[in-house]
Chains A and B, each alone.
Chain A
Amino acid sequence: GENVEQHPSTLSVQEGDSAVIKCTYSDSASNYFPWYKQELGKRPQLIIDIRSNVGEKKDQRIAVTLNKTAKHFSLHITETQPEDSAVYFCAASKAKGNTGKLIFGQGTTLQVKP
């Protein structure tokens, strides 16, 4: 079945610096790649997603890149702020066969130091 690996598990940056989190997936049929942010004790919330027909997507300080050949995708956060501190999860899914289930990575704990 699908497997998603996420690195690093923890990331500490100074406020204003950039942060990059990387994920690889195993199933070449995957075609939807969302990123979720989860603050302590709260629900995961979608921050950005990308589909396989696009190589890059940007939303203000957040961008995601996708390399289908290498089967990896990355989250880029620029000009980090203390409120960006949270756990970030990547995920992958495919629509074939009416599944659509999301397979999550293990998570990255991002700490932004003021």
Chain B
Amino acid sequence: GAGVSQSPRYKVAKRGQDVALRCDPISGHVSLFWYQQALGQGPEFLTYFQNEAQLDKSGLPSDRFFAERPEGSVSTLKIQRTQQEDSAVYLCASSLGPNTEAFFGQGTRLTVV
């Protein structure tokens, strides 16, 4: 595709439910990032992949958050047992490599009720 694609665009989950958010990066992009953006705030780093390797997961807020990129392309961010504080926009970004332009997806707005 022409850009980074995320699905679903919107997700409403009941507290305690598991969710899976998908990111299709730009073809050929080695680096993939997940960010969490609360309303009125800047994106907060969650995790980083270089190809299929998860090189940095220092931003994941708890062990309920898990991300994977098994074939070095599509990535999935999974949140188990969702809680209200997980409500946010989850942004995925990809780039050719470190310190190159990162292209963002439209984000998935997660609302936990």
> Chain A residues in contact with chain B, CB under 8 A?
1, 6, 31-32, 34, 36, 42-46, 49, 51, 89, 93-95, 98-107
Contacts and interface: CB of A to CB of B under 8 A. Distances in A.
A46 B95 CA distance: 12
Contacts of B35: 104
Interface of B: 4, 31, 33, 35, 40-45, 48, 50, 55-56, 58-59, 91, 93, 95, 97-99, 101-107
Given A46-B102, A51-B99, A99 B43 contact: no
A34 B45 contact: no
Contacts, number: 65
Nearest to B55: A98
A43 B109 CA distance: 12
Given A100-B48, A100-B98, A101-B56, A89 B43 contact: yes
B42 A95 contact: no
B104 to A, nearest CB: 4
B97 A100 contact: yes
A100 B95 contact: yes
